[in-house]
């Protein structure tokens, strides 16, 4: 609902405040006084493009501001729109104090206001709005089916996204799985272990240097203990023991030294024995050496492919196994998701089909009601129809809803947006809105010169429609017809006056007495006859429901 509209420096308006209320608000005034300019200011505020020519001469900018409220689910939200149109530089648009693109303000405005008049774009002309109105008219059962369609579509999107993340190339996944199995089998067959690798390296060094080891250990053994070797260490050490034992007999203080010599001799004997055993076990085995080389080559090959160490190879094997498990699991999951997707598509098609049937039934009933309503606003030859065209299923089903209209007998039905002329469009909208008033969520409806091109009894029918519509919505109407003005809950007059040598536009809310005078003016005079006629119009309007 619109609470306040403030306009500064727009065309002839220097500073004007408009405060409409609930119900039917009518704006009247002489031709050229600025009635349409006031509604034009609202259009500019809600997204219509502007040029510097709209700024009042002598001023650098125009400022438009409005306060709306939106009530939904018992909660009321306030919106404050502001737009500064400047001669130089970009416009400044603010929504609730925050600078926003004009498109964002327009999107928000569409939820709050429907402006109907010549060459204006109404939300009712949009396919999405037409679908929403038809579904709301269809009632709770239709909306419940639509909700089921939306949920099935959402679930289908989730499944399709999961399938996309799994990857769709099953052949590639199978090839990758085979390659992983080959790698794991290669590692398993190698049967590596850090302990074996160390043992193989020791064996390789021993076998590859066996002859050198035999020669070297033979010389060492001969130096230690070989019989007949001149100056063998153990033989000379035995001589040392004997000589020292003689000395100990003469001096017991040498006994510790003798003990050390004896211990050293025993250790050397043990070393010589171990050295002899080592030499006896050295193999000159070329076959075993070749076998060891071949086994070490297995280690080298596997480590070149899968890691620098045996531990690294084991980590790689674990990672390969995890990847293979994932691929094999993805295959099973893909099959499950494919089955789930097929079921969802089937359920969606079935439920969407049910939704289409309910929409077709609602469309027939709604079209009849709107056709009847059109007759009451001087469009007696008009025919209205709602067409459902099949489209790929989406969150709202498989139907594209389109309102079709012809206002002339014998002419084909065409989309609503392409049919009504400028003089007819407001009355068409009024008829549709009067039928759909309870379903339409837009709280403020504005009709600019809805009386254009009609007269007589039709004017009264239009007035009754406006009055009826205002019971459900805030209605703002610019009119030249006293019959419509008399039905208003609140009447405003817009007029021009001179101020400081310039012409300015003013707006005033009328009292009961002032309304009689304004209606008399609209009737063509301000004499007593015109005033009595005005009073009768007001009295008659009070009885309208």
Residue 36 CA to residue 48 CA, distance in Å, equals 14
| pLDDT confidence of residue 459 | 81
| pLDDT confidence of residue 545 | 55
| pLDDT confidence of residue 168 | 58
| pLDDT confidence of residue 540 | 86
CB 434 within 8 Å of CB 443? no
Is the pLDDT confidence value at 427 over 90?
Answer: no
Instruction: Provide the residue ranges of all domains of the chain, joining segments of one domain with +.
Output: 173-325
Alpha helices in 167-285 (DSSP H): 170-190, 194-208, 210-224, 233-250, 255-281
Minimum mean pLDDT range among 54-63, 108-117, 151-160: 108-117
334: tokens are: 């893909």
- Give the pLDDT confidence of 520-530 residue by residue, as tens digits: 998 887 788 88
| pLDDT confidence of residue 119 | 45
Average pLDDT of span 297-319: 92
- Please tell me the chain's helix, strand, coil percentages from 3-state DSSP, rounded to the nearest 5: 60, 20, 20
State the residue for tokens 């990847």: 323
135: tokens are: 């579904």
Task: Report the DSSP pairing between strands 444-448 and 474-478.
Answer: parallel
- Give the pLDDT confidence of 214-245 residue by residue, as tens digits: 888 888 887 887 654 556 888 788 888 888 88
As to burial, measured by CB atoms within 10 angstroms (0-12 exposed, 13-18 middle, 19+ buried), residue 39 is: buried
Q: What's the mean pLDDT when you consider all of the chain?
A: 86
| pLDDT confidence of residue 375 | 84
State the residue for tokens 């295959």: 331
- Give the pLDDT confidence of 110-145 residue by residue, as tens digits: 889 888 765 454 667 788 888 988 998 898 999 999
**Helix (H) / strand (E) containing 326:** helix 310-375
% of residues, the chain, pLDDT over 70 = 94
517: tokens are: 């005078």
């Amino acid at each position: 609902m619109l609470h306040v509209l403030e306009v500064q420096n727009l065309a002839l308006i220097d500073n004007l405040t408009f405060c409409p209320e609930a119900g039917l608000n009518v704006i009247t005034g002489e031709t050229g006084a600025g009635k349409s300019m006031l509604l034009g200011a609202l259009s500019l505020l809600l997204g219509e493009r502007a040029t510097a020519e709209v700024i009042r001469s002598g001023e650098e900018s125009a400022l438009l501001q409005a306060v709306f409220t939106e009530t939904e689910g018992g909660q009321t939200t306030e919106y404050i729109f502001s737009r500064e149109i400047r001669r130089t530089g970009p416009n400044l648009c603010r929504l609730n104090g925050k600078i926003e693109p004009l498109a964002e303000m327009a999107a928000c405005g569409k939820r709050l206001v429907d402006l109907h008049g010549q060459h204006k774009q109404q939300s009712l002309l949009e396919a999405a709005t037409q679908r929403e109105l038809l579904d709301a008219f269809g009632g709770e059962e239709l909306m419940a089916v639509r909700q089921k369609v939306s949920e099935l579509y959402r679930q289908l999107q989730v499944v399709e996204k999961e399938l996309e993340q799994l990857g769709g190339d099953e052949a590639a996944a199978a090839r990758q799985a085979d390659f992983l199995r080959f790698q794991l089998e290669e590692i398993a067959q190698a049967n590596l272990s850090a302990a074996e690798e160390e043992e193989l390296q020791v064996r390789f060094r021993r076998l590859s240097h066996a002859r050198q080891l035999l020669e070297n250990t033979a010389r060492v053994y001969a130096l230690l203990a070989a019989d007949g070797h001149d100056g063998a260490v153990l033989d000379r050490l035995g001589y040392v023991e004997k000589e020292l034992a003689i000395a100990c007999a003469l001096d017991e203080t040498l006994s510790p030294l003798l003990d050390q010599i004896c211990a050293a001799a025993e250790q050397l004997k043990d070393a010589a024995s171990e050295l002899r055993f080592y030499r006896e076990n050295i193999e000159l085995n070329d076959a075993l050496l070749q076998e060891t080389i071949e086994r070490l080559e297995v280690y080298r090959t596997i480590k070149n492919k899968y890691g620098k160490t045996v531990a690294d190879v084991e980590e790689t094997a674990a990672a390969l196994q995890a990847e293979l498990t994932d691929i094999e699991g993805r295959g099973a999951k893909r099959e499950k998701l494919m089955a789930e997707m097929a079921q969802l598509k089937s359920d969606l098609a079935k439920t969407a089909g049910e939704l289409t049937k309910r929409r077709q039934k609602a469309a027939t009933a709604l079209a009849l009601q709107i056709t009847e309503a059109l007759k009451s606003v001087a469009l007696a030859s008009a025919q209205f129809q709602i067409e459902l065209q099949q489209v790929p299923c989406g969150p709202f089903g498989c139907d594209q809803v389109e309102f079709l209209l012809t206002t002339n007998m014998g002419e084909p039905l065409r989309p609503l947006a392409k049919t009504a002329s400028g003089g007819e469009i407001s009355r068409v909208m009024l008829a549709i809105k009067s039928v759909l008033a309870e379903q339409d969520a837009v709280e403020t409806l504005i009709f600019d010169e809805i009386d254009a091109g009609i007269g007589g009894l039709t004017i009264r029918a239009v007035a009754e429609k406006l009055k009826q519509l205002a019971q459900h919505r805030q209605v703002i109407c610019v009119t030249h017809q006293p019959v419509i003005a008399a039905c208003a809950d609140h009447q405003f007059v817009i007029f021009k006056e001179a101020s400081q040598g310039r012409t300015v536009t003013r707006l005033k809310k009328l009292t009961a007495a002032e309304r009689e005078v304004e209606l008399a003016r609209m009737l063509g005079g301000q004499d007593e006859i015109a005033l009595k006629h005005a009073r009768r119009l007001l009295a008659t309007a009070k009885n309208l429901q």
